[in-house]
Amino acid sequence: AQSVTQLGSHVSVSEGALVLLRCNYSSSVPPYLFWYVQYPNQGLQLLLKYTTGATLVKGINGFEAEFKKSETSFHLTKPSAHMSDAAEYFCAVSPNTGFQKLVFGTGTRLLVSP
């Protein structure tokens, strides 16, 4: 069975500050890992994903995440927050074999203050 834990249901940062959203996963097989973003009153949108290869993954809007197998983590970062980054962020995991559904975390709401 696979699961995802997102630490912190809410994270607050000031505009221009570093954004760090935490995600830890549990998987019995090598995983694929995803970050999705949900803006108010919209569906989820893929930010980035890790499948194979380079463990540092760059996504849209300046976000990146690093897969650390030893720490079972896939934290999302952005060097400088913008007001437009305020949204809810979901980490998700799936096995890397066959076709399997995604298992989503509970989400972290990012608040950005001026």
Contacts with another protein by CB under 8 A lie at 32, 34, 36, 41-46, 49-51, 90, 94, 96-99, 101-102, 104, 106-107
User: Which is nearer to another protein, 62 or 107 (by Cβ)?
Assistant: 107
E strand map for the chain: 3-7, 10-14, 19-26, 31-38, 44-50, 56-58, 64-68, 73-78, 87-95, 103-104, 108-113
Nearer to another protein, 19 or 67 (CB): 67
Cβ count near 112 (within 10 Å): 19
Compute the least distance from the CB of residue 99 to another protein, in Å: 4
Give 30's DSSP letter.
P
Nearer to another protein, 25 or 50 (CB): 50
CB of 100 to another protein, least distance (A): 9
The amino acid sitting at 32 is Y
Least spacing, CB of residue 44 vs another protein, in Å: 4
Paired with 113 in beta bridges are 14
